[in-house]
Structure 1
Amino acid sequence: MISNNMFSFQRKNHAVNHWLKILFWGWLLSFSVSSYAAQAVATVSKNIVGVNEVFQLTISVDDNVNTNALDLSVLDDDFNYGSPAVSSGTSFVNGVVTRQTEWKIAVAAKEVGEFTIPSFRIGASKTDPITMTVMKSANKSTANTSKPEIRIDAESNKDQLYVGESIRYTVRIRIGEQMSQAALQAPSGDGLNVKQLGEDRQVETVLNGRRYLIITRDYQITANKSGDILLRGAKFTGNLIKGNRGFGSTLQIPFEQQADDLTLSVLAKPADYKGLWLPTEALVLEQQWQPEVNEIKVGEPISRTITLRIKNAEQSTLPNLNLQYPNSVRVYDESPVYGSDDDFTFMTIKQVIIPRQAGDITLPPLSINWWNTATSKQETSKIDGLTLSVLPGDPSSQALLPPQALQSDNVEPVATSVQTEIVKDSGWWPWLSLCLAILWLATLVLWLLERNKPKQLQPSNTAAKPQQLTPVDGMMDALERSQPVLLQSYYQQWLKLHPAHPLNKELDEAIQHVMQCHYSKNKRQFSKEDKHKALSVMQRLNKTTTKSVNVKSSVLEPITPK
């Protein structure tokens, strides 16, 4: 017994030692990886100084390292320096641990000339070298180097374009000074429309030991007339902050710098071009049918979604897509949706098409002429039409409607994704199941007792089974729930059952008014007065239909067909 216990204890002790080794090596590996991934950066307060002028050298490492790890002896030949001020710390923000060690050293150059502060190696990290310009005196240095460390550059993706075509103009500003009230004025030119694209992009970087803020902004420039047009460059303005901020003695100096001007060569529209003028490097025309069928019944809707994408184009230049549909269908246009994706501007329109009569119906194709500015040729983009075989409507064809057509605008679609969750604690579900089982057994016992009782006379008029909605009741229900497509479906069922009803014209006007309020390009809010007017027509239909059914039911139908 004792030997068995000792063997079990040794196995447990071996397992504990095994896991301790794994944890130790994991910690050691993470420590070595973090040390390897640490980055060291060296910066100076200024790149141009006078002999014996003191400037600050800052060296930082994004990790906690030994404060004696920095060797400053590489500065002995060309610079004098003092004892470094060292700081280190660890912060924990939003679950992220940040470590940093920083040295600040006062440095002064010994002679006039160009010198290099060499790289410093700290563990596995290494800083970049820094070039220093040393003048004879600080005053002369200040006089000769009054130009601020600010630079503005601009470029365009092309300098030749057509009238109505757009180009992208990009401005980059590199700021290495303290500034206030900084602003960027857009480029300008006679006959040019300038529009900013998106938001500014900012990034910090270190160049030759100095920290810079780089700001990038994009503009869209559209030409409105032909000829050579001077594009005046973007201008950067602001105030430079000079002086000792630590003691509050600062001076603000106005500053402005403009990017170089650019001459744009704008070509006119070719004389032999036909159609709407659309100059661009790329144009894409696409469509989608829902559902994708070639056979449909009267009253069933089919949706057509058309997307037009044009590269480097303004939204105002996108054309209106007009399609001529046959009179055998009703078409309801939704409002166009505009947007942008990379260099493309797109427009999406959706049409709901409802056949009105049986037969073969051809839905029209669409073609757009445009001028390819990359090849200087006219091109045509097309999408095909669709030939539908329309069958007579069926009152029970309501089930064939697309699910999205039967949903109200106020009802959110049900998510179809299924997530699997592993439940470790069953909770109160077993108790609930037990209670339900007890109630089911009690119900079964009561039912058996009731069955064994003497049967009593049951009333002759049993409850009527629920029936499906009539076309009139269906129209009223669809109107109350704001479901225009379902309303149209019930309307088609009504027309098939009552083709010569005296109120058909008034009902058709009411239905079309509802559909126009929902789908027309100039659609408006469907008011309570509109709904009350449509409901009153349907209520009158109910009364007249009930009377006609009662009269017909008094006449016996022949038992044997003639």
Structure 2
Amino acid sequence: MVKHIFKQTLLLIITLVISLHALAEEEAREAVAYASSTSIKVNETFFVTVVVNDRVRKNDLDITPLANGFVVGSVNAQSSYSNINGVSNNETRFTIPLMVQNKSVTEIPALKVDGLQTQAIPLDVIADNESVDRLAQDVLFDSSLSTNSLYPQQSATYTMQVMVATQVSDITIEAPYGEGLIVEQLGEDRQYRAVIGGRQFVVLERKYTITAESEQQGSQTTLYSGRFKGAVASNDRRGFPTGLGIPVARTGDNYPIDVRAIPSDYQGLWLPTPSLTLSEQWSTTEQEVTVGDAITREITLAITDRDASQFPTIDIAYPASVSVYDERPVFDEQDGKTVMTLKQVLIPRQAGDITLPGMKVNWWDSENHTQRTATLPAKTIHAAANANSAQSNGTEPLPALPMQTEVVEVKDAGYWPLLTSLFALLWVLTLGMWWKSVRLQRAVVGNNTNHTAPRPDNSLATAIASDDPIKVQKAWRNSPAHIQAHTKSALDSYLASVYGNKGNRQQALSALLATNNSVPTPNNPAPSALASITPE
């Protein structure tokens, strides 16, 4: 009975999954139509293309709506298949030669193909003796501005699109400009295809950030449009290329911009934006930690219409009982916002209750014209003493490194991967030479009958070899006091290279390894407990 119910349930689930998959595929299918030109002379031949993102038959296309007002030529159908990264795509393309019979035709009607339907395409039909400005139809320009009201140091996004339906060469794009405005290109150019007004175009899209200077507050200025220039290939009367280029230039609208004054009652760093969010993540949710344990705090600040160079510096005053190591902030673009991520490693150095400060960012809501404050709460933890730590043996705690904040944008790594590989190779050679020396020391100890000093702590050497700063610190805290005292300075330098971006990490790691290998014999070693037993 149970097996029967299980089989029925499994069959129902499989049927549901197949049905949903088929429904998704059905919803994804579409038919798109576009014309080679939408300004047509009577008795002039042009082409309509119908594209279906599925494999269909030639007879599936119904062209009977074209019988009224058009002379229809022979339909050509081509199917193609592609598989990119495991995603398969089918496409069927129909090409239909058409000729308009009279001026009363105003559109190409919608066509049906295998249960799908295209959109109608409006036409501008002119008499045979009238001229058509093909160039005006083949190169279009459009622009937009995200807002025409700015505060000083606030940015808006200007988007310009050049739509081309013919071959264009010698392309140049001039940026917009305006008095009291700072204009900078935003990101890389985008290029894609789109059907616009019943025709297929290649769209070139470029964006700029427009920032109002502080001196412009309380005034008005004008953003003058960007400009596109190029040369369109020309053909003779028979349609053959002449090798000559016809100059073409396009420009868009100019935009008046109102630059508002900074409110007199605003407090804090001036930061105007329509949207700002501040959040954080901790590596642990526990309220109790051990002295010397590392805690990671990751702070994320996202601001709309603001470049990375315009972000505020995050500077949190931590108590002296905590060592702080700042990683370099990383910037990224997400959903139209610039996002800064700052990672901090916090290490308690004293036992007791420690309050890790919160932070706040004052900003001006440019849409609602009011001051707001984004905050992160303070966090209180209890640091328990570590019995094996250097403090228990009277050793001074590791000093906190000064915080450093450096703006880093995600870019091409350049030659750094090559240098990193070179340092890694040198590190492997150093580790090999160290291992060879350790084996030689073991051989000498095995053949020597005299009492020899103990070698440096193997667990610390192993941690150093892993190049994991957390493991290195834990192994160091569990090492004997004389090893901690001898390697403390080298450990400081290594941690500074990892968390504070001071010095070369591989060199600091090699120096720490060499220092650990050179630990001297402790003075007055404690006698063995068995040595005091004398048989009677």
- TM-score, length-scaled by structure 2: 0.70
Report the 3-state secondary structure (helix = DSSP H, G, I; strand = E; otherwise coil) of the residue aligned with 2:512.
helix
Q: 2:504 aligns with which of 514, 521, 525?
A: 525
Mapped contact 2:467–2:509 kept (Cα < 8 A): no
Indicate yes or no: 2:73 matched with 1:84.
Answer: yes
Q: 1:394 aligns with which of 373, 379, 387?
A: 387
- Matches for 1:127-526 after TM superposition, within 5 Å: 131-138=122-129, 140-142=130-132, 147-190=136-179, 191-205=181-195, 207-208=197-198, 210-225=199-214, 226=216, 227-244=219-236, 247-249=240-242, 251-395=244-388, 472-494=457-479, 498=481, 507-520=487-500, 522-526=501-505
214-223 vs 306-315, greater mean Cα deviation: 214-223
Report the 3-state secondary structure (helix = DSSP H, G, I; strand = E; otherwise coil) of the residue aligned with 1:548.
coil
Report the 3-state secondary structure (helix = DSSP H, G, I; strand = E; otherwise coil) of the residue aligned with 1:474.
helix
Letter in 1 for 2:44: V
Encode CA deviations 1:260-308: one digit per residue, 9 max, x unaligned.
Answer: 1112112243333332221112221112222211112222221111111
- Quote the Cα distance in structure 2 between the aligned partners of 1:184 and 1:343: 23
Partner in structure 2 of residue 430 of structure 1: none
Partner in structure 1 of residue 525 of structure 2: 549
Unaligned 5+ segments in structure 2 are: 1-21, 391-419, 422-453
Change (3 A) 1:285 1:313: same
Following superposition, the deviation at residue 491 of structure 1 comes to 3.1
- Quote the Cα distance in structure 2 between the aligned partners of 1:392 and 1:319: 37
Mapped contact 1:393–1:493 kept (Cα < 8 A): no
Report the 3-state secondary structure (helix = DSSP H, G, I; strand = E; otherwise coil) of the residue aligned with 2:474.
helix
Encode CA deviations 1:470-489: one digit per residue, 9 max, x unaligned.
Answer: 98443333223222222222
240-249 vs 480-489, greater mean Cα deviation: 240-249
Indicate yes or no: 2:45 matched with 1:55.
Answer: yes
Change (3 A) 1:302 1:146: closer
Partner in structure 2 of residue 12 of structure 1: none
Letter in 1 for 2:503: R
Change (3 A) 1:120 1:187: closer
Encode CA deviations 1:486-517: one digit per residue, 9 max, x unaligned.
Answer: 222233334xx64xx6x866543222111101
Following superposition, the deviation at residue 197 of structure 1 comes to 3.5
Change (3 A) 1:488 1:98: closer
- Quote the Cα distance in structure 2 between the aligned partners of 1:278 and 1:163: 9
Letter in 2 for 1:317: Q
Report the 3-state secondary structure (helix = DSSP H, G, I; strand = E; otherwise coil) of the residue aligned with 1:85.
coil
Change (3 A) 1:118 1:314: closer
Identity %: 26
Encode CA deviations 1:376-409: one digit per residue, 9 max, x unaligned.
Answer: 2222221122222222103399xxxxxxxxxxx9
Report the 3-state secondary structure (helix = DSSP H, G, I; strand = E; otherwise coil) of the residue aligned with 2:521.
helix
58-67 vs 256-265, greater mean Cα deviation: 58-67
95-104 vs 226-235, greater mean Cα deviation: 95-104
244-253 vs 481-490, greater mean Cα deviation: 244-253
Mapped contact 2:353–2:382 kept (Cα < 8 A): yes
Following superposition, the deviation at residue 341 of structure 1 comes to 0.7
Change (3 A) 1:556 1:162: farther
Change (3 A) 1:166 1:541: same
- Quote the Cα distance in structure 2 between the aligned partners of 1:38 and 1:338: 38
Following superposition, the deviation at residue 55 of structure 1 comes to 2.8
- Quote the Cα distance in structure 2 between the aligned partners of 1:533 and 1:91: 62
Report the 3-state secondary structure (helix = DSSP H, G, I; strand = E; otherwise coil) of the residue aligned with 1:516.
helix
Following superposition, the deviation at residue 158 of structure 1 comes to 1.1
Change (3 A) 1:114 1:189: farther
- Quote the Cα distance in structure 1 between the aligned partners of 2:291 and 2:49: 79
Mapped contact 1:187–1:194 kept (Cα < 8 A): no
- Quote the Cα distance in structure 2 between the aligned partners of 1:364 and 1:548: 46
Mapped contact 1:148–1:177 kept (Cα < 8 A): no
- Quote the Cα distance in structure 1 between the aligned partners of 2:384 and 2:241: 86
332-341 vs 483-492, greater mean Cα deviation: 483-492
Following superposition, the deviation at residue 314 of structure 1 comes to 0.6
Partner in structure 2 of residue 414 of structure 1: none
Following superposition, the deviation at residue 42 of structure 1 comes to 6.3
Mapped contact 1:114–1:131 kept (Cα < 8 A): no
Mapped contact 1:188–1:194 kept (Cα < 8 A): no
Change (3 A) 1:215 1:68: closer
Change (3 A) 1:362 1:109: same
- Quote the Cα distance in structure 2 between the aligned partners of 1:376 and 1:40: 45
User: RMSD across aligned C-alpha pairs, in angstroms?
Assistant: 3.8
- TM-score, length-scaled by structure 1: 0.67
Mapped contact 2:273–2:305 kept (Cα < 8 A): yes
- Quote the Cα distance in structure 1 between the aligned partners of 2:118 and 2:343: 59
Following superposition, the deviation at residue 348 of structure 1 comes to 1.3
Q: 1:116 aligns with which of 98, 101, 106?
A: 106
Letter in 2 for 1:484: P
Encode CA deviations 1:58-86: one digit per residue, 9 max, x unaligned.
Answer: 4657543349964488446xx6x4x7234
- Quote the Cα distance in structure 2 between the aligned partners of 1:198 and 1:73: 43
- Quote the Cα distance in structure 2 between the aligned partners of 1:248 and 1:392: 85
- Quote the Cα distance in structure 1 between the aligned partners of 2:95 and 2:220: 56
Mapped contact 1:44–1:55 kept (Cα < 8 A): no
Following superposition, the deviation at residue 193 of structure 1 comes to 2.8
Mapped contact 2:38–2:122 kept (Cα < 8 A): no
Encode CA deviations 1:125-162: one digit per residue, 9 max, x unaligned.
Answer: 66655555454553x424x7774443322121211111
Mapped contact 1:276–1:370 kept (Cα < 8 A): yes
Partner in structure 2 of residue 534 of structure 1: 512
Mapped contact 1:297–1:394 kept (Cα < 8 A): no
Following superposition, the deviation at residue 551 of structure 1 comes to 4.4
Change (3 A) 1:344 1:248: closer
- Quote the Cα distance in structure 2 between the aligned partners of 1:515 and 1:304: 17
Following superposition, the deviation at residue 362 of structure 1 comes to 1.7
Mapped contact 1:285–1:306 kept (Cα < 8 A): yes
